[in-house]
Structure 1
Amino acid sequence: MSDFPVTVFHNPACGTSRNVVAAVREAGLEPEVVEYLKAGWTRAQLEDLLARMGGARPREILRERGTPAAELGLLGEDVSDDTLLEAMVAHPILVDRPMVATPLGVVLARPSERVFEVLDRRPGSFTKEDGEVVEL
């Protein structure tokens, strides 16, 4: 379809993540889909994604709901970036999704239409799986 590379760090059980993959395809691009719960993360990979998000901090991509974040003591503001990154590598579910990486940058695509911030094209509109129409 295109030589514009798009990588979606995806959880197929997540509706927002499914919407992002569909939105990329609707824009005429075929993403590389990485099921990060299976593939896991490396520290270097997370550090690179955070840097490409404009120097974001690990807390900005920490998923709390449905994860062991509280049980691991990760919710306090005093928890270091190093500790968060180590936990994210050990427990991939701690990284919020979907994250999308392209030559234009990286976004945490919540809501799903944030994906269009890093695509080189977009459709005129996009219909999410729940029927919501997003005009672009």
Structure 2
Amino acid sequence: MAAIVLFSVAIGLMGFSLAGYGSNALDLAPIYNGNIISVTNTAATLPGIFGPLLIGYITRNSSSIQNWMIVFGIAAGIAWFGALMNLWLTSGEIQPWGRLTYMKNTNTTNSVTTDNGAPKFQNIITNQNDNQ
């Protein structure tokens, strides 16, 4: 009975992690938030794919308490490893590669407005004016 209660509490508390990893990707690189979430979700799906295979291998001969203790021990070890790596490696600071920077007009001979006075947009990727 205690195992069921502890397991239920653990699953309930896992909801707090959703707010952490979702907002952390936005903190790291706002313009690449979708890419970061897709890569991390792909990595997070792998235990769901390979976990049943491992459990089937461990409990292939007997579904005894000892075998299930091994299964839950492995799961707890993976969870602790992930938590410690998160505490050690995770940052909430925006990364230099995650910023959208706007280029300044380096061509001083051309005006930055069109003939009708509307602003002329630069190509951000190549930093070239429209008329070059």
After TM superposition, is the score higher than 0.5? Answer: no
TMscore range, shorter length: under 0.3
Structure number with the bigger relative contact order (C-alpha 8 A, sep ≥ 6) is 1
Q: Would you tell me which structure has more helix in proportion to its own residues? A: 2
Tell me the TM-score normalised to structure 1 length.
0.26
Tell me the TM-score normalised to structure 2 length.
0.27
